[in-house]
A and B are shown apart, each in its own frame.
Chain A
Amino acid sequence: MPDATGLELIAQELRDAHGEGVVTDTLFFRNQATLSVAPDSIRAVLAHLRGKGYGFLASVHGVDYYPQEPRLGVVYELLDMSRVDRVAVKLRVASDAPDVESVTEDWPTANHQEREVYDMFGVVFHGHPDLRRILMPEDYEGHPQRRDFPIGGEPVIFTYNEAESYPSGHPPGRAGRVESPE
């Protein structure tokens, strides 16, 4: 881990290179370094950190800070394999405009992980090659990992209750049940 001073140095470097507003906060907690950055600068920040040796993107995951605003967070865990050094980069977006630039082009590993964050939290990654739901069914409504999404009571859809299981009365994209031939 970079120590608290090292983290400040990285933050200062980022501010010098990409403008004052790029790093909004730094946090050194339990020996783990976290940089909070502006959402629109995420690609530049990750590219800069890659230049500093953090060449492995270990994980991308979402967090919901409900009821705070901006409530949705995305965390990128970076790793420098030669110095065995980790730094987390965090950004926050509002739930009514959850727009983040995708980093899949620079970091192919983010592909599935961004899809999962989109699926579970509804964060939209612009520029992602194939932004679809990954774990939930394609026609699922809502983003289940959000804190205000209720737990339990998930209806199990069988043929007999198919119609009442959707708010619109029928599965999306289908105007009614397909008649089977006699």
Chain B
Amino acid sequence: MSSTGQPTISEYRRREQSITLSPLEEQLGEAGREGSTQELLTLNFGPHHPATHGVLRLLVTLQGELVRDVKPIIGYVHTGIEKTAEDKSYWKVIPVIERMDYLSYYFNALAFCGAVETLCEVEVPKRAQYLRVIHLELNRIMSHLVWLGTSALDLGAISMFWYCFREREKILDLFEMSSGQRMHTRYFQVGGVIEDIPRGFAEKLDGFLKEMPSRVDQYGALLNRNEIVLHRLRGTCPLDAETLLSLGVTGPLLRAAGNPWDLRKAAPYCSYEDFEFKIPVGTHGDNYDRFAVRLAEMYESVKIVAQALEGLPEGPHITEDRKIALPPRHELATSMEALIHHFKLVTEGMRVPPGEVYYPIESPRGELGCFVRSDGSSKPARVHMRDPSFVNLQATAPMVKGAYIADMIATLAMLDPILGGIDR
């Protein structure tokens, strides 16, 4: 209360009220009109809520249990990574870029490294490309496992979470073996990968690849015949491919609606043209198709990794261009040239020719594009990530309008948004 006795509207409340919800009357029909007996309720959902998969906040307008409107409010984990990247030399950008979408760090690193490689016109050795594919596809499986575990948790199936994290653990162990880190590995470098895979990695990976398909079978068996899961997913919140494309949605969400768009097939990068794999698509574009497409993608990723491991070519694991990549350790003791290059790269970093490029790849969530502008110095003048989660989030409202609030939770789970990628 203020001194005059009038109730004061707090700053928080004022800002809350300034957020305009979409024009309500047209969607509400009967309930929107004056004198209607039905009441509208605006509900704040999140940002701290286990079902929002991160710090996502939704302003939901409800009519009874029906969702009439949804406004996503984001920015709670905005850390200014794009700004930070402008202040770091190119090779130091990789670790911060990896922390954007924290479930697909190999993809973030590849998008950035690919853009810089395009600017520098560097040839990446074949072995490095295959090693990249192995790690990318393992990362895709890992990302889908986290999605599956947490989504099942949202639908009330707690045990799935433990099963998925059991397999995820094995993938993280493999990452630890090849790079020393479980997450945010900084394994990809401009021009290749930092180290060749260690002894024993191939055998361990082979064991995992033999086991994984039967595990995915088990997940399918657990969920595909589960009455509750089917009721929650089948036929709920569908959206057609046309609308999805106009909203910029790509990845499993688009494929679930029947459009087989996948950059790995359409515009192969990183030697994806060498591997045989299928692109799973759905038919209805409902939540069940979104679930089924991702589940099927795990089998395909296992196939790609197996082929890459089988056909892993011999050769260097990083480019021999000394202006781009560090010289091997043993050269430093014998070659003055190598020492100079090492010193220049570590202190100043590489110089990249001026220009702008956009490098798109297929992340577990859709098109992940990295835009890099170089002004010729050793630091990027602009780094922008076109993050699929950020763009896909716009499809929430068209998907859930008119559905029940419980279906909104399921849809949010099947949307698979990663807030680290949305807010960057």
Complexed CA–CA distance, A133 and B423 (Å): 12
Is chain A's interface secondary structure helix, strand, loop, or mixed overall? loop
Q: A63-B382, A77-B369, A135-B74 are in contact. Are A179 and B248 (CB under 8 A)?
A: no
Given A30-B118, A174-B11, residue A56 in contact with residue B266 (CB < 8 A) = no
Nearest CB to that of A60 among chain B residues? B386
Taken together as a complex, chains A and B put the C-alpha atoms of A29 and B358 apart, in Å, by: 11
The 8 A CB mask of B111-123 against A (1 = contact, 0 = none) is: 0000000110100
A128-145 interface with B by 8 A CB criterion = 130, 132-139, 144-145
Q: Give the distance in Å from the alpha carbon of A130 to the alpha carbon of B397 in the complex.
A: 15
Interface residues on B, range: 35 or more
Please tell me if the beta carbons of B2 and A178 are within 8 angstroms of each other in the complex: yes
Residues 385-408 of B, flagged 1 when their CB comes within 8 A of A and 0 if not, give 010001101100000000000000
A64's nearest neighbour on chain B, judged by CB, is: B382
A27 shortest CB reach to chain B, Å: 9
Which residues of the other chain, A, contact B14 by a CB distance below 8 angstroms?
173
* B contact patch SS: mixed
| B245 close to A (CB within 8 Å) | yes
Nearest-Cβ distance from residue B223 to partner chain A, whole angstroms: 31
Chain A residue numbers with a CB within 8 Å of B249 are: 109
Known: A135-B74, A136-B75, A145-B82. A151 touches B87 (CB 8 A): yes
- In the complex, the answer to whether A77 meets B386 with C-beta atoms within 8 Å is yes
CB distance from B346 to the nearest CB of A (A): 22
Contact pattern, A 130-171, Cβ under 8 Å of B = 1, otherwise 0: 101111111100001101010100000000000000000001
Most buried by A among B3, B355, B423: B355
- The residues of B that contact A147 with a CB separation of less than 8 Å are 86, 381
Interface residues of A in 70-119 (CB under 8 A from B): 75, 77, 81, 84, 86, 88, 107-109, 111-113, 116
B188-233 contacts to A (CB < 8 Å):
none
Contact A56 B3 (CB under 8 A): no
**In the complex the two chains form, is B382's CB within 8 Å of A55's CB?**
no
Give how many A residues have a beta carbon under 8 Å from the other chain's beta carbons. 47
A59 x B78 contact (CB < 8 A): no
Contact with B along A33-72 (1 / 0, CB 8 A): 0100000000000000000000111110111100000000
Contact B75 A171 (CB under 8 A): no
B80:A144 contact, CB within 8 angstroms: yes
Determine the chain B residues whose CB is within 8 A of the CB of A179 once the complex forms: 1-3
Partner of B358, one of A32, A57, A81: A32
Closest partner residue, chain A, to B118 (CB atom): A30
Residue of A30, A111, A132, A171 with highest tally of chain B CB at under 10 A: A30
Q: Is the CB of A55 within 8 A of B373?
A: no
Report A-chain residues with C-beta under 8 Å of the C-beta of B80: 144
Please judge, given known A-B contacts A30-B355, A34-B356, A84-B267, whether A171 and B11 are in contact too, CB under 8 Å. Answer: yes
**Pairs across A and B, CB under 8 Å, 27 listed:** A29-B356, A30-B118, A34-B356, A55-B245, A57-B248, A58-B367, A58-B369, A59-B369, A59-B391, A61-B371, A61-B384, A61-B386, A63-B373, A63-B384, A77-B371, A107-B246, A109-B248, A113-B390, A130-B20, A135-B75, A136-B75, A144-B83, A147-B381, A149-B83, A151-B87, A178-B8, A179-B1
Known: A63-B382, A107-B246, A112-B390. 8 other contacts (CB 8 A): A30-B121, A61-B371, A62-B384, A108-B394, A113-B391, A135-B78, A138-B15, A151-B86
